[in-house]
Amino acid sequence: MMEQIGPLVALALLLAGASALIVARVSQRRLVPVLLIWLLAPALLMALVLLIGNLLSPARDGTLSNAIFATMLVGIFVAVPWAVICALGFLAGFFLRRKWPPRAEAVDDPPAPSAPDKIAAVAEGPFAAPQPTEPPQRYLAADSPAAHVSQLSPDGSLRVDIQPVEWANGLWVNTPRVVEVPSGRILCDLHGTDWEAHVAFPRAAYIWLGLRRYCGPGHLFAEIDLDAGTYRIALTSLDKADEQGPLGDIAERLEFWWVRATAIAAETVVSDQSVPPPGRFAAWRSALVILLGSLVAIAGLTWFSMKTGIEPPHVPIIIRPGAAVPH
């Protein structure tokens, strides 16, 4: 008994080991096609033999007919054990692949720098503007043309001049300019750019600006306080400003901080679109789907072979003289 079972067990272990080795070492791009071909090899062989039998239409008792029937018979009994053993080997291979990934997949990309590191790197790069001691002082000329639209603060100390700029067909950007009314000093001149601002006057001699740009992602916040004689710029909230300084035209300072705002917005988009890691049982589900597919294919091929008319070869019964004839 052991002499008959021993070779079968050795063959099963060899098949399971080969299946595990395929899963553990084949590249990710070729893994699925290789697994399908390997798993459905008996079914493919049966389909090929069946096709040859239908094309050649051999005689009922011919040698080719006998060979076709023998192949179909062996394939039916071999396909199911083959699929089960391969599925077990695939599970072991997925475990080995996760623990020791192939060489091409084992090289991890260098860790991406965090958002603060990216912001610092961009700020220290060649495009970062030098930080001035104070913003430049500019004043409106006496013959300066009137603004297209103006918004005056309730106390009359600040005025926002709006100049529409068309950046695309039918897309207008309302660029602002903040002016101190008594002196004509320009506190923020963004006319002719792609900046757009939402303006509010929560108290006297004070203006709040919510800024964004047409040509890039991100946003900034700024405030100008005439009583305190200062401006403040923040990336997220003015409760904790990122920069504070004396009054002047803060347009250059906004450009300086916009580099950082864009870096934060890009980092947020990338992190939101990152692909989540596969589930813990993703490999098990894939192996189960492959196993069920192979069983369905074998059942379909068996049904098709029964409907095509390929019959087992006729084996004549020879009765020798003197032999007992069954009733």
CB count within 10 Å of CB 90 equals 27
Is the same domain home to 91 and 46?
yes
260 lies in a domain? Answer: no
Q: Once rounded to an integer, what is the mean pLDDT over residues 187-203?
A: 91
Considering 69-83, 109-123, 136-150, the range whose residues carry the highest mean pLDDT is 136-150
Contact 12, 85 (CB under 8 A): yes
3-state secondary structure of 281: coil
Express each pLDDT in 196-243 by its tens digit: 989 999 999 999 999 998 888 888 999 999 999 999 999 888 888 888
Phi, psi of 127 (to 5 degrees): -90, -5
Is the same domain home to 200 and 288?
no
Q: Once rounded to an integer, what is the mean pLDDT over residues 145-155?
A: 87
Determine the pLDDT at residue 319. 58
245/229 Cα distance (integer angstroms): 8
Is the pTM higher than 0.85? The answer reads no
164 lies in a domain? Answer: yes
Express each pLDDT in 252-310 by its tens digit: 888 888 888 888 887 776 555 555 555 555 555 666 666 666 666 666 656 666 666 55
315 lies in a domain? Answer: no
Q: Once rounded to an integer, what is the mean pLDDT over residues 1-25?
A: 72
Considering Cα of 236, then 238, then 241, then 244, what sign does the dihedral take?
positive
Name the residue range of residue 12's domain: 2-105+281-308
Please state the separation of Cα 70 from the chain's center in Å: 49
275 lies in a domain? Answer: no
Is the same domain home to 57 and 154?
no
Determine the pLDDT at residue 50. 64
User: Residue 248 pLDDT more than 80?
Assistant: yes
